[in-house]
Amino acid sequence: MNASITKSSKETRTGSQTLQLEERVKIGKQARESVPFEMHSKLSFVPADRDLVEILEISNHGRAPELIPIRYGRMLVSPFAFFRGSAALMAKDLSRSPVSGFYVQACGDCHIQNFGAFATAERQLVVDINDYDETLPAPWEWDLKRLGTSLVLAALANGYSYELGMEAARRMAKSYRQFIAELSEMSHLEEWYYKVAFEELSEGAEQETRERGARLLEEAIEKSSPEVLMEKLVEKRNGVLRFREVPPLLCHIEGISAGATEKEVFEEYCNTLSDERQSLLRKFQLVDVARKVVGIGSVGTFCGVVLLTSERSDILVLQIKEARQSVLEPYAGKSKYAHHGQRVVSGQKLMQTASDMFLGWTTGKRPPFKHFYVRQLRDVKIAVNTAYWSKEDFKIFSKVAGRILAKAHARSGDSTILRAYLGKSEQFDESIAAYSLAYAKQTEQDYRRFVRACKLGKLKAELID
């Protein structure tokens, strides 16, 4: 089977909800006979058929032209950075790979640095995938292959061996397979409510890793405090609170302020929240809007920050991100949501056990009427930074990532069918590890071509700290 069976795959997934246990197990095992594990181990495309520069330039359509060189500059840092910024390239490559025929709500850009910890509305600290810009119903294998490849490239970026990266990918796939089996034994409600607690990151870890985790938590709590937000992001001008200018990474844009149009956009966003959260948010007043350059793949799209204050001198900073067509849509089918902000928010809520309490969407009121989603900028958020990982960290955290991804997929997919497909053999784990290694090596080749294109002036890159 390949990704061209999108329609029948979706029907299989939906219909399976009413099938008896024995029938669902049979579906999974039959798929394994049609698409054996070894089919997942090899690249299924011809590298010469891919015009790297063309794919990257197409992905720039609609981005701010002055920021595109910054995007390329960030991608120049390493093959891993290039990989993070070229999700559209891998989406095209994955579309040619064999799939078992079962759709889930996929992340779409499932690399290891898109995992992290954050505080829930109940103030519990959980670990989950934290970026869903590309989320869409798609073959479950695509997320595993991108995540596995990212582990290999992250290991190489740290100066470790291919073997270590491949072992991390193998552990991730094994953890995914084993936890899918565990989830299939739970009741549907237990499966739905399951979450990965922050403490799981340090289970079995060395003392140094546990201490670093404690420091990161302490720093994240401090960074999300109103006092630090005031000090780092905000200043008072003529008695009015405003974002500090740090051009070109944080700056005000002519025509965009806390004016009537922005307040209309903000009001539309508020209406997408539940009643009790609308009530809380309307205790605040919109006072400033600015553009903030974030990440790698998002550079050039509109990413902004919104400053809110209350009569009690509270401050709240929200992040507003442009939502564009998912890179998976040309291959997995269009989203059922006409609004891409709603696509992101709905996909995130489906995959996460607990989501940002201020997660919502809105539409720009100026041409070209872009779609956006909104979330808190900082709420005890701890991003994964593999640059500091030891060899032991790769072994531990890759297993946690596998569990998180299995949990996320099971919420929309059928864990019984997936369990029947995956079975108990480690051959699947080996195949994902082999693919991850092969695609990491392909990414290194693509990165060298990208560097040459920048040197020759085909692509303009700008390095900014």
Helices of type H across 282-339:
329-332
351 and 420 housed in the same domain: no
Q: pLDDT digit string (tens) for 15-31?
A: 445 678 999 999 999 99
- 257 and 340 assigned to the same domain: yes
Q: Quick check: is 209 in a domain?
A: no
CA–CA distance, 280 with 79 (Å, rounded to integer): 44
Asked whether residue 243 falls in the same domain as residue 279, the answer is yes
Q: Are residues 271 and 362 in the same domain?
A: yes
DSSP string computed for 274-285: -HHHHHHHTTSE
Of 359, 376, 393, the one marking the end of a domain is 376
**Orientation of helix 415-422 relative to helix 162-185, angle to 10°:** 130
Local confidence pLDDT in tens for the 465 residues of the chain: 544 333 334 434 434 456 789 999 999 999 999 999 999 999 999 888 889 999 999 999 989 899 899 999 999 999 999 999 999 999 999 999 999 999 999 999 999 999 988 877 777 788 899 999 999 999 999 999 999 999 999 999 999 999 999 999 999 999 999 999 999 999 999 999 998 887 776 666 666 666 666 676 666 556 656 666 677 788 888 888 899 988 888 888 877 777 788 889 999 999 999 999 999 999 999 999 999 888 788 887 888 899 999 998 888 999 999 999 999 999 999 999 999 999 999 999 999 988 889 999 999 998 889 999 999 886 667 778 899 899 999 999 999 999 999 999 999 999 999 999 999 999 999 999 999 999 999 999 999 999 999 999 999 999 876
- 375 three-state secondary structure: strand
Same domain, 253 and 181: no
Whether residues 170 and 34 share a domain: the answer is yes
Q: Check whether residue 184 and residue 72 sit in a common domain.
A: yes
pLDDT for the residue 350? 97
Q: Report if residue 181 sits inside a domain.
A: yes
Of 421, 431, 461, nearest to 101 by C-alpha is 421
Q: Is 55 exposed, middle or buried (0-12, 13-18, 19+ CB in 10 A)?
A: middle
144 and 257 assigned to the same domain: no
Task: Enumerate the β-bridge partners of residue 69.
Answer: none
Task: Give the pLDDT of residue 16.
Answer: 46
> 387 in a domain, yes or no?
no
Sole residue written with tokens 């073959």? 139
Counting the structural domains of the chain, the total is: 2
Q: Is residue 217 included in any domain, yes or no? A: no
Do 151 and 30 share a structural domain?
yes
Domain that holds residue 54: 3-104+137-194+402-455
Regarding whether 414 and 357 lie in a shared domain, the answer is: no
Residue 82 within any structural domain of the chain: yes
Tell whether 260 and 354 lie within a shared domain.
Answer: yes
Pairing between β-strand 303-309 and β-strand 103-106 as defined by DSSP bridges: unpaired
The whole-number pLDDT of residue 200 equals: 72
Give the full edge-to-edge strand order of the sheet including 250-251. 250-251, 285-292, 303-309, 315-322, 371-376, 360-363
Q: Is residue 109 part of a domain?
A: no
Contact 145, 161 (CB under 8 A): no
Domain membership of residue 460 (yes or no) is no
Find, among 210, 264, 197, 246, the residue nearest to 400 by Cα: 197
Residue type, 89: L
Residue 119 backbone phi and psi in degrees, to 5? -90, 135
Q: Where are the beta strands (DSSP E) in 31-189?
A: 103-106, 115-119, 125-129, 136-139
**Would you call the peptide bond into 98 cis, given omega within 30 degrees of 0 as the criterion?**
no
- pTM value > 0.85: yes
Which among 361, 376, 391 is the end of a domain? Answer: 376
The reported pLDDT for the residue numbered 12 is: 45
What local confidence, expressed as pLDDT, does residue 14 receive? 36
Residue 204 domain flag: no
Q: What CA–CA distance (Å, rounded) separates 76 from 6?
A: 35
Same domain, 406 and 283: no
For residue 322, give the nearest of 334, 308, 335, 339 by alpha carbon. 339
| Residues recorded for the chain | 465
